[in-house]
Structure 1
Amino acid sequence: MLAVTAPLLVGNTGARQDISVTVTDLRSAEGKVLACLTANAKAFPNCDKDPKALAMTVKAGTTVSFTFHDVKPGTYAISLLHDENGNGKADKALMIPKEGFGFSRDARVRMGPPKFSAAAFAVAAEPVHQRIRMRYLF
């Protein structure tokens, strides 16, 4: 198990909390797990569209743990990619992901990624823990 932390990249006031994430069911320890946290429904699951999103990259393992620190209160969603070949992007075959993926609240995939609302969770007065199962289609 690998534990990694990342500092908050955006500023705001209010009681901030940690969001710890445990990722299970990775099929190999090859490559990296790319994670992003966003409060922007329009930017989910591709956090590149949200300049305020928090992104993290950790070494893959059979189970991976990491923490987003000092997150302001609000509603967020997490998306994950098991980038097995380490090229920094989601590889696809006929528009279907060849690498693993996962979402907060363990939101399921049906004809495309889940909506923000299916993966959304609240950050308020207590630290948050998300357990996310990595899924593979190939």
Structure 2
Amino acid sequence: MQNRPGTFGKLSALAIGAVSLLTLGNSANTRQDVIVTAIDLRSSDGTVLACLTPSDGAFPDCGEDDRSQRRIVRANTRVTIVFNDVEPGEYAVSLLHDENGNGKVDKALFIPTEGFGFSRDAKLRLGPPRFSAAAFKVSSEAPVYQTIRMRYLKR
């Protein structure tokens, strides 16, 4: 077998090119899904309104933040909500069990009459928790799973 000049160089260039393409393909997919499971809903009436936001100022209702994602799913005693293609960063999730389907938080004397929940099971403190109490990290490594227990202050 003859050793042809330049053959090794061509093979090396092809191998480097293939590795580069594989690396580019992996680095382009830096977004992940955030999968939220809401548990302990008291009924299957209405819907669950969900907000995923990277913004302290848009928490807990997503406000007018274009970076936030909103979802509405049919209620059940347990529901799963998927936020697709979330960029790496810090986020918080809030949920509302909108039992009557009017699209807003119903209150009696400033107390919510419908269920709610927050990522990291953040607790209420004279109002909704701070963003920092509910915040979690999303990386490019793997999907993020959050389980949120719904709470009801009025029966």
- TM (norm. structure 1) is 0.88
AA aligned to 1:25 is D
Identity %: 62
Tell me, yes or no, if structure 1 residue 129 matches structure 2 residue 141: no
Give the aligned partner of residue 77 of structure 1.
Answer: 92
Q: Within the alignment, does 1:20 sit opposite 2:35 as a pair?
A: yes
* Amino acid paired to 2:147: R
**Contact 1:14–1:72 (CA<8 Å) still a contact in 2?**
no
User: Deviations along 1:18-53, whole A, 9 cap, x unmatched?
Assistant: 100100000000000000100000111121231221
Task: Select the structure with the greater relative contact order (CA < 8 A; seq sep ≥ 6).
Answer: 1
Task: Determine whether 1:64 maps to 2:93.
Answer: no
How far apart in 1 are the matches of 2:130 and 2:57? 9
Counterpart-to-counterpart distance in 1, 2:101 and 2:130: 26
Asked whether 1:29 is paired with 2:44, we answer: yes
Structure 1: any 5+ residue segments left out of the alignment? 1-12
Residue 97 (structure 1) aligned to one of 112, 117, 121: 112
Between the aligned partners of 1:96 and 1:14, the Cα distance in structure 2 is 43
Distance in 2 of aligned mates of 1:67 and 1:49: 21
| Structure 2: unaligned runs, 5 residues or longer | 1-27
1:38 counterpart residue number: 53
User: Quick check: 1:86 aligned with 2:101?
Assistant: yes
Total equivalences in the alignment: 126
More helix by share: 2
